[in-house]
Structures are given as structure tokens and as C-alpha cells.
Amino acid sequence: MSFEHVCVLGLGYIGLPTAATFATHGMRVTGMDINTSIIKTLQQGGLHIHEPGLKTLLDEALASGNLAVSDHVVPADAFIIAVPTPFYDDKRADMRAVTSAAESIVPHLRPGNLVMIESTSPPLTTVELVAPILARSGLRPGEDFYLAYSPERVLPGQIVRELIENARVIGGITPASSQAGADLYSAFVKGQIILTNATTAEMVKLMENTYRDVNIAIANEFARLAERVHIDVWEAISIANLHPRVKILRPGPGVGGHCISVDPWFLVETAPDITPLILTARKVNDGQPHHTLDLIREAAGGLEGKRVAALGLAFKPDVDDLRESPAVDICTLLQQSGAHVRAFEPFKPQATFPGFETVPTLEDALKDADLVLLLVAHSQFSELNPAALAAQTPARLAFDAVHGWDKARWQAAGFTLFTLGVGSK
């Protein structure tokens, strides 16, 4: 089947690139978001998120005349729900945005329409939450209109390319719904399109990220063990990974972002009695900011009154996404422990947090510092010249939480460098 007009609900890291990609492939698209500030920014040609290639893509989509933005849902042939799914303090999934999005579609739903869900969701969300809401229209899901789930599976920093090239999973509540979803995304997807049912598609996304979370957890436990027995975990990992069937991931100060740190909780919530491994991995990774705090405290000989230049707040290198970032948690914990933190995030220099001070430049962070702390391996931080940096700060103590700095170079520049995962007697 063919689609002439798509309405994309949610213009964040997934919804906006998806809307723009459809538009540049000849489809009429209305991008909708309830945040009027986002709509105003886009209407003025601006961009509210940083993603390589997205500004060029957006400009092309707007220039084509195929993309319009709005603060309300409009009638369309297909609707794509791409709204956030965070969690509550008790780690239960917060599905209010998905619920609201589905409810906003109901008045516009017509026979033959397609509704796609891209928001990461617990298993059975499509059939047990969204389908009953859409049925309030008087139309029968899977019979009068098509309903399917298709998880986003792209890497921040590579979204524009991976939307097109990655394999796409389409899970319908009926085989016809799956095929309708495949017909929609075939407008631009070059990767393989795999058809399955809705709950399997939901599980695929959660399994992918949970697999990574569990493997990061074992890497973090290896790092803690290395510190305990006084070895360098990075050397040990590099040697272990020479084995053809071993691929140990990188330890670090924690796991962040809106996928790996969130999705495993959806599985634990679904069946807490049979997911003890997933729960334990989550606890290990959620505990890494506190463990990193203890390492910094030991390296600094206490934190009370210490001035800390914290480099990086994003959840991963070279992106501006601060969601669930362990770097933010560590800065907050440092401040609560008596240190004075000046944090610099080059991809979002104007970001502010209630628990600590943020500054717009590296120079502002380094000024009067006692300790330089690397929390995110942004390229510009990994490439810093320690000799040049020494001229910008009185600090001669540095802590590397992500293995981004060469110890010999920093020592040659006069710094004492401590690294997460490296034990010392």
C-alpha cells in the first residue's frame, strides 16, 4: 500500500530525523510536538538537538516543502509515535507520553490508516495499552486500521545514516499490519526489513540494549576487581580480547542515555521473578557513579573544599545527549561531598543543573582547579595536550574515569594521573 501523508508525533532525537528523512524521500510530513519552544525553533530554521548531519537534512526537508511542523496532530495516512518513555523513581516505565500520543490520534483515525509506535516500550504495550486506546475511535485495530511496532535501533552520532542503512524490524498486531509498516518504511530504508509480531519487536529492542548493559556490568566488575588486586584492567581486557571468542566491553563511570540505562528496567518490570541477572547488572551499573566518587575521593585525599574541573556531561562521547548521564550524577555527588564543581560540556555549554556549577568554556572550568576530572571521552578532551593544559590551571592532580588519557604524557607534563580500573599499592 502507499502513503502520501505521515504525521510524526514527537520531534526529539528519533522523531525529527525520521520526519525529515521521509520528507526528503518525497513524502508529505507533519512533524508534531507539544513543546511549543521546539516548534518555534524549527519554524525559524533552528535546531534544538545536536546530531551530525541533521541540520543539513532538516534544511533540505524544509526547502522541499514536504515538511511542516505543528503543535497538534493532523489527519494523515500514517501516524508514527516517537515520544519519550522515561521511568519513575521506582524504575517503572512512565508511559504517559505514549498514552497521550495515542489518545491524540483517536479523533483523526480513519479506516485504512496505519499507526506505528517507535517509542521504546515494555512488552505487550502495543496490544494491551495502545490498541485499546485507538479502539475508542470505533475502529477495530488490525481490521479497520493497521497497527504495528518498529523500534528505533540507531546510534547517537550516527542517526541520520543508520535510519536508512540499518535493518528495520516491523511487528504488527496482524500480518497485514506488519506488511503495511514495511510498505511505509521502504520509502527510505535500504537495510533489511524484518516482519514479526508486535510483542517480539518490542522484545528485540529491549534484548539488544539489555545484552549490552549486562556485558558492561561485567566489565565494571572486572575494573573493580583490578583495583582491588592492583592491576591495570585496560591491559587485562586488551589481552583477553585477543581470544577469538571474547569481546569484553569498556568499563566506565556508569551507563547513561535513554536506551541502555532504561530498557532493562522494562524487562524487570514485566517479570521481576525471572530476571535476577538483568536486575543485578542494572544495580552494578547504577552503582558506578558512587564507586567512581569513592575513587576520586581517595585520589584527592578527601573532597571537602576541593575545586574540581569536570570535563564532559553527556552520556557518551561526541554527542549532546545528557539523559540519564552518569557524569551528571558524579558531579552532583561530588558537590554533595563538599567539593566545588565547575563542569564543562562542549556540546551543550549552556546546560545548567541545580546540584553544581556549569561553565561555558574549558578555561572557565580549569581556572583555580585542584583536580581535573575526565568524565566523557569527547574527542577534544582525549586530544588535549597536557603540557598546554598545565599552563591553564594550578591543578596537578587528574582523574580519568574513561581511559581517555595517556598516563606517561600526563606524568611528563607534571600531573599525577589516576585512572578508573587501575589499581595501585
Contact 303, 334 (CB under 8 A): yes
* Residue 155 DSSP one-character state: -
The domain made up of 5-191 has a fold known as Rossmann fold (3.40.50)
Contact 157, 347 (CB under 8 A): no
- Give kind and range of the element (H or E) at residue 23: helix 15-24
* Residue spans in the chain of domains classed CATH 3.40.50.720: 5-191, 197-425
φ/ψ of 261, rounded to 5, equals -85, -10
φ/ψ of 127, rounded to 5, equals -85, -30
Q: Which of 7, 190, 205, 407 is catalytic?
A: 205
Per-residue model confidence (pLDDT) at position 424: 76
Residue 7 known to be catalytic: no
Contacts of 180 (CB under 8 A, 6+ apart): 1, 114, 146, 148, 172
Residue 55 known to be catalytic: no
Query: How far is the C-alpha of 299 from the C-alpha of 156, rounded, in Å?
Result: 33
Residue 89 has pLDDT above 80, yes or no: yes
Query: How far is the C-alpha of 155 from the C-alpha of 393, rounded, in Å?
Result: 35
The string of DSSP codes covering 339-408 is -EEEEE-TTSTT--BTTBEE-SSHHHHHTT-SEEEE-S--HHHHT--HHHHHTT-S--EEEESSS-S-HH
Tell me the pLDDT tens digit for each residue of 164-196: 999 999 999 999 999 999 999 999 999 999 999
CA angle 212, 213, 214 (to 5 degrees): 95
* Residue 5 DSSP one-character state: E
Per-residue model confidence (pLDDT) at position 220: 98
First to last CA, the chain: 68
> pLDDT category, 328, cuts 50, 70, 90?
very high
Per-residue model confidence (pLDDT) at position 50: 84
Residue 72 has pLDDT above 90, yes or no: yes
Residue 425 has pLDDT above 70, yes or no: no
Per-residue model confidence (pLDDT) at position 45: 86
Among 258, 262, 254, which Cα is nearest to 220's? 254
CATH number of 197-425: 3.40.50.720
**Helix or strand or coil: residue 63?**
helix
User: Grid coordinates in use for 37?
Assistant: 519552544
Contact 139, 159 (CB under 8 A): no
Query: How far is the C-alpha of 155 from the C-alpha of 162, rounded, in Å?
Result: 7
Q: What is the largest CA-CA distance in the chain?
A: 73
Mean pLDDT over each residue of the chain, to the nearest integer: 96
**Mean pLDDT confidence for 207-227:** 97
Tell me the pLDDT tens digit for each residue of 345-392: 999 999 999 989 999 999 999 999 999 999 999 999 999 999 999 999
**Mean pLDDT confidence for 312-339:** 96
Q: Considering the entire predicted model, what is its pTM? A: 0.91
Contacts of 5 (CB under 8 A, 6+ apart): 27, 28, 29, 30, 75, 76, 77, 78
Q: Which of 7, 40, 259, 331 is catalytic?
A: 259
Among 383, 370, 380, which Cα is nearest to 347's? 380
Contacts of 2 (CB under 8 A, 6+ apart): 183
The string of DSSP codes covering 291-355 is HHHHHHHHHHT--TT-EEEEE--SSSTT----TT-HHHHHHHHHHHTT-EEEEE-TTSTT--BTT
> pLDDT category, 1, cuts 50, 70, 90?
confident
